[in-house]
C-alpha cells in the first residue's frame, strides 16, 4: 500500500474522512501525539488498528469526539464531576473513563465494560471527527512498544505501507499522550499522567495517582489500565534514568559512556554526548519522544536521561521515561 502524507487543509480532511467512513485508517494529528484513526463503531476498522500497530487485543482504545453532545450515546452514565471537568478541560489532553453503552463495540474497549473518551483541542483532529460525523478510535500512531509519534514523519516511519494517508498537522504541542482518569468513590483516579496535571484536577475533587504510574506492576498484578503493563516508548538503545543533576550528571554519563552514547540533560548545553531535553517539564514533554527516536536514528547504543522533576507535567515525563528505561534508575 502506498502511504500519502498531505498537509492539513479542507481537501485533505475530506479525503481522510472518506477513508475513515469506508472503514480505513488515517494518521491524525492531535495536540498530544499523532493518532491512528478509524471509525470507533466499526468492528472491522478497529480490528485493523490493532493489526497495523501490532497491539495486544486487550489494550482498549480511546474514543475521540468533537462536541460534548457526542458523549451521551457512548456511555451509560456521566458523573457530575466529569461534566465539570469536560467544561474546563475539553478540548484538551484529558481522557475520561465511563461505563460504556452498547453502541461501543467490545473490540474498541478491549473487552472492558468501560470506554475511554477524549475531546482533543487540535483543530485538525476536530475537523476530521466533524467531517466523518463519527466517533474516532485512535491509539498513538506508533508501532506497539516504540516511542509515540509527535510529527507526521514519525508516523510515516512506523506506518508507511500499512495505512493509505497521514494528515500532517505539524509538530504536536504537548508531546506526551493525554492524562487518563477514572472516577472511584468521588475521587479522580489518575491512570496515566499527561498535560492535564494532578494539581489542575485537584481543584475539582480529591485526586489519587495509580501506583502503576511510578512503579513497575508485578507480572501477575491486575492493573486498572491495561496499557500500563506493556513495555512502552522504547527505542532500540538501552535507556537509563540517571538520578544525578548538573555536574554530577555529566560526570556519571562521561564515566559510563560506552559505544555510541547520548545523554539527555535538563537545560544542559548541546555539547559532545550531551543534548538538552528542556529546562522545564513542558518542553521536556514536547521533546522526549522525538529525542528517543533521534537516538535510534543516530545509532545510539546507550541513552542516559537526567531525572526529571515529578511535579506538574513532570510526572508524565517521568512516567514515560520509566517505561522507556524499563524502570532502571542509576546513580553514582
Ligand atoms: O493523547 C492520547 O491519548 C493519544 C491521542 C492519539 O489521542 N492516544 C493514546 O492512545 O495515547 P493509546 O491507545 O496509545 O493509549 C490509551 C491508553 C492505554 O494505556 C489504555 O490502556 C488506556 O488508555 N485505556 C483506554 N481505554 C481504557 C479503559 N476503558 N479503561 C482503562 N484504561 C483504558
Ligand atoms: Mg500508545
The answer to whether 174 and 93 are in contact (CB under 8 A) is yes
> Which residues have any ligand 1 atom within 6 Å of their CB?
30, 32-33, 35, 59-62, 93, 95, 97, 109, 112, 114-116, 118, 138-140, 177-178, 180, 191-192, 224-227
Handedness of CA 60, 66, 70, 72 (dihedral sign): positive
Q: Is 58 a residue whose pLDDT tops 80?
A: yes
- Give the residue with greater pLDDT, 234 vs 175: 175
At residue 307 the predicted structure's pLDDT band, cuts being 50, 70 and 90, is very high
pLDDT > 90 fraction of the chain, expressed in percent and rounded? 90
How many of the other CB atoms lie within 10 Å of CB of 309? 14
Ligand 2 centroid distance, CA of 83 (Å)? 26
pLDDT in tens, 251-300: 999 999 999 999 999 999 999 999 999 999 999 999 999 999 999 999 99
pLDDT in tens, 122-159: 999 999 999 999 999 999 999 988 899 999 999 999 99
At residue 217 the predicted structure's pLDDT band, cuts being 50, 70 and 90, is confident
The answer to whether 226 and 116 are in contact (CB under 8 A) is no
- Ligand 1 atom, smallest distance to 224 CA: 31
pLDDT of residue 230: 59
Average pLDDT over residues 233-251: 92
Average pLDDT over residues 214-236: 73
* Pocket residue to mutate for ligand 1, from 55, 107, 177, 233, most atoms within 8 A of Cβ: 177
Residue length of the chain: 332
Q: Is 229 a residue whose pLDDT tops 70?
A: no
Average pLDDT over residues 237-241: 95
Residues with CB under 5 A from ligand 2 (ion): 140
Average pLDDT over residues 109-120: 97
Q: Is the backbone of residue 175 left (phi > 0), alpha (psi -120 to 50) or beta?
A: left
* Pocket residue to mutate for ligand 1, from 37, 46, 62, most atoms within 8 A of Cβ: 62
At residue 235 the predicted structure's pLDDT band, cuts being 50, 70 and 90, is confident
pLDDT in tens, 24-55: 999 999 999 999 999 999 999 999 999 999 98
- Ligand 1 atom, smallest distance to 114 CA: 29
The answer to whether 134 and 20 are in contact (CB under 8 A) is yes
Amino acid at each position: 500500500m502506498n502511504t500519502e502524507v498531505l498537509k492539513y487543509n479542507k481537501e485533505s480532511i475530506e479525503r481522510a474522512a472518506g477513508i475513515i467512513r469506508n472503514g480505513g485508517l488515517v494518521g491524525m494529528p492531535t495536540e498530544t501525539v499523532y493518532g491512528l484513526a478509524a471509525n470507533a463503531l466499526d468492528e472491522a476498522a478497529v480490528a485493523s488498528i490493532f493489526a497495523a500497530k501490532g497491539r495486544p487485543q486487550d489494550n482498549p482504545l480511546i474514543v475521540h469526539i468533537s462536541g460534548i453532545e457526542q458523549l451521551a450515546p457512548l456511555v451509560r452514565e456521566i458523573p457530575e464531576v466529569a461534566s465539570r471537568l469536560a467544561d474546563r478541560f475539553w478540548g484538551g489532553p484529558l481522557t475520561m473513563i465511563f461505563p460504556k453503552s452498547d453502541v461501543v463495540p467490545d473490540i474498541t474497549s478491549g473487552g472492558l465494560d468501560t470506554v475511554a473518551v477524549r475531546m482533543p483541542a487540535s483543530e485538525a483532529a476536530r475537523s476530521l471527527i466533524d467531517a466523518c460525523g463519527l466517533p474516532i478510535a485512535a491509539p498513538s500512531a506508533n508501532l506497539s512498544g516504540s516511542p509515540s509519534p509527535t510529527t507526521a514523519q514519525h508516523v510515516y516511519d512506523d506506518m508507511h505501507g500499512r495505512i493509505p494517508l497521514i494528515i500532517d498537522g505539524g509538530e504536536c504541542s504537548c508531546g506526551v499522550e493525554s492524562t487518563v482518569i477514572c472516577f472511584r468513590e468521588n475521587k479522580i483516579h489518575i491512570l496515566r499522567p499527561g498535560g492535564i496535571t494532578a494539581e489542575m484536577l485537584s481543584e475539582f475533587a480529591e485526586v489519587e495517582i495509580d501506583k502503576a504510574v511510578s512503579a513497575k506492576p508485578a507480572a501477575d498484578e491486575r492493573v486498572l489500565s491495561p496499557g500500563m503493563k506493556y513495555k512502552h516508548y522504547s527505542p532500540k538503545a538501552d535507556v537509563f534514568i540517571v538520578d544525578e543533576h548538573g555536574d554530577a550528571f555529566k560526570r556519571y554519563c562521561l564515566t559510563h559512556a560506552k559505544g555510541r552514547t547520548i545523554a539527555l540533560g535538563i537545560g544542559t548545553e548541546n555539547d559532545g554526548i550531551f543534548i538538552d531535553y528542556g529546562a522545564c517539564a513542558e518542553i521536556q514533554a514536547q521533546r522526549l519522544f522525538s529525542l528517543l527516536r533521534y537516538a535510534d536514528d543516530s545509532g545510539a547504543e546507550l541513552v542516559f536521561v537526567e531525572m526529571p522533576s515529578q511535579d506538574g507535567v513532570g510526572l508524565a515525563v517521568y512516567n514515560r521515561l520509566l517505561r522507556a528505561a524499563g524502570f532502571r534508575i542509576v546513580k553514582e
